[in-house]
Amino acid sequence: MKSALSTIIGREYYERVKRKSFIISTLLTPLLMVALMVTPALIAIFSSPDEKKIAVVDESGVIASTLKNNDELSFVVSDLPLEQLQADEDYFGVLVIGKNILRKPSDVTLYTHGASSMQLEESVASQIKKTVEDIRLRAYNISNLQEILDAINADVKLKTFRIDSDDTSATSSLLSYMTGLIMSLMLYMFILLYGQMVMTSIIEEKNNRVLEIVVSSVRPFDLMLGKIVGVGLVAVTQILIWAAILLSVSLWLMPALAAGMDTAEADPEMLSAMSQLSDGGYMMMLLGYCLLFIIGGYFLYSSIYAAIGSAVDNIQDAGQLQSVAIVPIIMGMVLSPTVVQDPMSTFATWVSVIPFTSPMVMMARIPFGIPAWEIILSIVLLYATALFLIWVAAKIYRVGIFMYGKKPTLAEIIRWTRYK
């Protein structure tokens, strides 16, 4: 015979996974993620930028002739007055190069019709910079100057290996950086979304007086835990489906791309990243840790959300109490970009073991290959804190679900935890 707890878990789980919104979001989200990654590349390949004509007024007489046209810019040297050129809308902009440009490189101004772009400004500035540098170098009358510059030019491509690891393959700091931020963001979204889902469900059932009927045959603790576990299983299901899709694409696509590359000329950073992404063991390791921290973080914050939901009568009142849960989650997300800059620092270690920030921060550090003891300590503290908060939330829940019409103060909620 099924227990009351398993019945509640099954009801919460199946009620949500059968919804069209869950099915659509589960299937479409990976496709949207791939589309977001691929679309910019496709646009860059197939789209051609609109050519912009730039009138050039060169008071120095040495720069204009060196400016080269490209797919985006077309330079037209002109002797017309500046006011007349600015009034001519056939030109996107007017570039005025001062006569002291060689001594004062900032003596250059661009007037445009409409908003400019960083790419356009960088293109113009880089051409002028190169010309000024060339002219200054020629002033030293060094023979074979260009040959000397070509000979001393060095393109350094760094390969990184971990001497504290048995893995003999090169590592990619860029991949670890991006993977850490993506994993941290994913945990932030899941914990916040599904934690709030528990709170909303409790408030709705409390308003419908459903809870009063259910608790006559089920212990309040079982009812709360059933909701938390049921909704948590929905989150795990969604993650596993997404992981299966992304893992399949990664294991198939990365080797295919690597096979078509010239490894002798390719960037070592890119080769290292592709090697790691095509490593099934590495990807499964990330998935395993991701699940551990999502489950632990979810239980920690969903217990807080369950306590909030049981203590209020509507979503508006809950919004004022949600800061107790939202602020630590946001703090963990905000700290993640700082932590990945130096994942081995003392600061990174401390904030990744604090239970309220560890789900986001530790997942941002794991791709860098941090010591196992730090991960284990973080997991132990996270789950211990989650169990303690579930126990506290259960005390608040069993009192709060019977409270109607009065918004409790924080002092009253704390007093509920002392009731036996």
Confidence of residue 147 (pLDDT cuts 50, 70, 90): confident
Please name the amino acid found at residue 417. Answer: T
Structure tokens at 377: 């300590």
Say how far apart CA 253 and CA 343 lie, in whole Å.
29
- Whole-number pLDDT of residue 385: 94
| CATH class of this structure's domain 52-152 | alpha beta
Confidence of residue 283 (pLDDT cuts 50, 70, 90): confident
**Percent of the chain whose pLDDT exceeds 90:** 7
Q: Token pair 């960088």 is at which residue?
A: 122
What is the rounded average pLDDT of the residues 209-218? 69
Q: Could you give the dihedral angle defined by the CA atoms of residues 113, 115, 117 and 120, in that order, rounded to the nearest 10 degrees?
A: 0
- Whole-number pLDDT of residue 353: 92
Structure tokens at 277: 């992404």
**Range of weakest confidence among 131-145, 157-171, 368-382, 396-410:** 157-171
Contact assessment for residue 43 and residue 83, using Cβ atoms and an 8 Å cutoff: no
Q: Which residue has the higher pLDDT, 300 or 255?
A: 300
Nearest Cα to Cα of residue 270 among 180, 153, 173, 342: 173
Say how far apart CA 214 and CA 256 lie, in whole Å.
56
Say how far apart CA 302 and CA 325 lie, in whole Å.
9
What is the rounded average pLDDT of the residues 150-166? 68
Say how far apart CA 345 and CA 367 lie, in whole Å.
15
- Whole-number pLDDT of residue 382: 93
Q: Which residue has the higher pLDDT, 54 or 186?
A: 54
What is the rounded average pLDDT of the residues 265-287? 61
CA atoms within 13 A on the CB side of 342: 5
Contact assessment for residue 295 and residue 305, using Cβ atoms and an 8 Å cutoff: no
What is the rounded average pLDDT of the residues 2-15? 81
Q: What is the CA radius of gyration of the chain?
A: 30
Whether residue 1 has pLDDT greater than 50: no
Of the spans 178-187, 317-326, 384-393, which averages the highest pLDDT?
384-393
Whether residue 338 has pLDDT greater than 80: yes
- Whole-number pLDDT of residue 170: 47
Q: pTM surpassing 0.85?
A: no
Q: What is the mean pLDDT of the chain?
A: 79
- Whole-number pLDDT of residue 384: 95
What is the rounded average pLDDT of the residues 172-191? 75
- Whole-number pLDDT of residue 107: 85
Say how far apart CA 354 and CA 341 lie, in whole Å.
19
pLDDT single digits (tens) 227-274? 889 888 988 888 888 877 777 766 666 555 555 555 445 555 555 555
- Whole-number pLDDT of residue 270: 56
Residue 7 CB contacts under 8 Å (≥ 6 apart), including other chains: 226
Alpha helices in 208-219 (DSSP H): 210-214
- Whole-number pLDDT of residue 108: 87
What is the rounded average pLDDT of the residues 196-224? 77
- Whole-number pLDDT of residue 300: 92
For the chain, domain boundaries? 4-33+170-416, 52-152
Whether residue 125 has pLDDT greater than 60: yes
Contact assessment for residue 300 and residue 325, using Cβ atoms and an 8 Å cutoff: no
Whether residue 160 has pLDDT greater than 60: yes
Which strand (E) or helix (H) includes residue 351? helix 346-351
Contact assessment for residue 360 and residue 384, using Cβ atoms and an 8 Å cutoff: no
Whether residue 383 has pLDDT greater than 90: yes
Contact assessment for residue 375 and residue 293, using Cβ atoms and an 8 Å cutoff: no
pLDDT single digits (tens) 93-114? 888 888 888 888 888 888 988 8
What is the rounded average pLDDT of the residues 59-87? 86
Structure tokens at 418: 């002392």
